[in-house]
Amino acid sequence: MNAARWQTLPKRIQLLSIMAELERARTWEQERGAQFTGALERALDLLDLTFGDPRWKNETLQLLMLRDEIAKRYANLTNKSTLSLSRAL
């Protein structure tokens, strides 16, 4: 998805799209294969597009915290069995 298209989506849909990728990653986490990493990469890509959307300027810190948690999972820096969104949100 390109930035122009992403910014036309309502904020709620943007957030739900990111959450859907995280749910896919959680489902595939035990296998730690290409599907798991692909879902995390897509979530990171969507978050990066979100940073360019001026409607999110007041939530930048929360988005950065969420991105940091996802990046840790991607880099395998934590040993949690599930992705914890509540910590970042």
What percentage of residues in the chain have a pLDDT greater than 70? 85
Query: What does the pLDDT average to over 38-53?
Result: 95
pLDDT range class, residue 84, cuts 50, 70, 90: low
pTM equals 0.81
Residue 89 pLDDT: 46
Q: Which residue range is the domain that position 70 belongs to?
A: 3-88
Stretch 72-83: mean pLDDT: 66
- Return the residue matching tokens 């969507």: 46
Domain tally, the chain = 1
Question: What's the pLDDT at 30?
Answer: 82
- CA angle 76–70–42, rounded 5-degree value: 110
Residues 6+ apart with CB under 8 A from 71: 44
